[in-house]
Structure 1
């Protein structure tokens, strides 16, 4: 593992550090825009008093904290970075591949480096059942890693293209505390609210940090999920959202798309059919989440 000097120094001095994933850069945003967001998220973390640590795998090496050249490489479509979940880290390292880290793999690497707070977009969850199926066995590795790794993840819930009800149940079953940041309901990524309540609410970074510290001291060893709704002014219009979701699900059924191919297809439809509105929402919520993550990190004990 190669930890950037800025990150290593901050950790040694007990200063706040926030982990950032690279999948959103390599796979979630268009070329050009992704590089601007890469800089913007790190700037937001620094402005809030913490040190950013963007994580990726380059030449088979775990990288915690990327310089400009490495960020350029991650954001360049020609680099062909693989999407690496937790299960993919070993093969990528052994075969000396390049890869962008998901929430699951970023969380594991952050914990190994001694970083306890991670700001991101939307958590992976339980996928909706395939057409004609009663349930789905497609469950994101994000949930299992969060259940076994004591890292606080700040996100905007899960995307509405997933099974939010089943995801909330899995989090409860796996003993992952869910804190609503200034909200009483579990957010649905593009939308601020779903029909599901959060079990606990916090209204300040200090309160969130206090809960996280207590959970780490006396809890079951899991991480903590802090759900922060997208800012009001950037929430996707409800009618547009519902229309795009219905159209996308119809496309999935018609093409008999299954498994891991479902979510990318749905998100691409959102991005294209909304004429970029969903991308604006995505970017806004990521920036809001990393700011909250940094504010929480500055209140956690070293």
Structure 2
């Protein structure tokens, strides 16, 4: 597939945000990509059919449909074989975008290693290690065990690059105590590194850590209080697996009186905008 295409995931539509914010945000992300001259391709599964580039009606449907599966790479075939509606996580979106030759993908934050759980590691990291793509995110969600997540990314040889930052962002927060060893200033530099990886036949994604706009940032100490409360509630209710992240993000929004929801929307649009710029830079080189 030739063109300045940007893949967008659909889990944020079906599971990450409430109606009608989910639908409005999906349209807003596509608009941000288009502003940069690129073409958005939101990916999802409807009635077992894989959609790479959903229509407005399909986006609305997935925003309101009941019993929408949340699928990683491992569950794609289940959704298609059983004719289910499904929203794609980072791992599934990576896999399906790669099948279409798309090389740039914008998301919110990738999955990683959960806190206070003996073993809960996202499929996202494995797919990032295998798929040649530029993935723009606001780092990882601060609800995760960030240190272990970064260690897993290093172990699985995922190239992590800070965009105009020396500090690894934490979704709602611009900065953290974790430095990034590689930092770039322009989309063109990201493309140069990606193309060099391709030339050298080094597989795996480039994870671009793009901090949330400063005006929407939630202060770290304030956010940690909300997170500790939400995680404690999740543990008491024995919520785990695919349901854990949506529960935690929902509770954070409630505990912060909507601050984290506003931040979530802002960073999604910001990432879509940067991905659009990268896709256009890719076309020019």
Q: TM-score, normalised by structure 1?
A: 0.90
Partner of 1:35: 23
Unpaired runs of 5+ residues, structure 1, are 1-10, 131-135
Quick check: 1:165 aligned with 2:147? yes
Does the 8 Å contact 2:49/2:83 carry over to 1?
yes
Task: Pick from 240, 258, 278 the counterpart of residue 296 of structure 1.
Answer: 278
The counterpart of 2:224, out of the listed 242, 247, 250, is 242
Stretch of structure 1 that moved more, 79-88 or 43-52 = 79-88
The alignment status of 1:210 with 2:198, answered yes or no, reads: no
User: Does the Cα contact within 8 Å between 2:38 and 2:276 map onto a contact in 1?
Assistant: yes
The aligned residue for residue 133 of structure 1 is none
Over 4 Å off, 4+ runs? none
Q: Does the C-alpha gap of structure 1 residues 112 and 155 become closer, same or farther in structure 2, counting only changes over 3 Å?
A: same
**Deviation at 1:220?**
2.3
After superposition, residues 1-302 of structure 1 pair within 5 angstroms as 11=1, 14-76=2-64, 78-130=65-117, 136-301=118-283
Distance in 2 between residues matched to 1:232 and 1:62, nearest whole Å = 36
The answer on whether the counterparts of 2:70 and 2:242 sit within 8 Å (CA) in structure 1 is: no
The whole-number CA distance in structure 1 between the counterparts of 2:38 and 2:211 is: 21
Q: Give, in angstroms, the shift of residue 82 of structure 1.
A: 1.1
Deviation per CA, 1:237-282, whole angstroms, max 9, x where unpaired? 3343122012123323433444444333321210111111111000
RMSD: 1.4
Give the gaps of 5 or more residues in structure 2. Answer: none
How far does the alpha carbon of each residue in 1:192-216 deviate from its partner, in whole angstroms, 9 at most, with x for none?
Answer: 1121111210111111111111112
Aligned-partner Cα distance in 1 for 2:162–2:223: 22
Residue-pair matches, total: 284
Q: When the two structures are superposed, what TM-score results if normalisation uses the length of structure 2? A: 0.95
**C-alpha spacing 1:291/1:138, structure 2 compared with 1 (3 Å):** same
Paired residue secondary structure (1:272)? helix
Residue aligned with 1:172, SS: helix
Q: CA deviation at 1:219?
A: 4.7
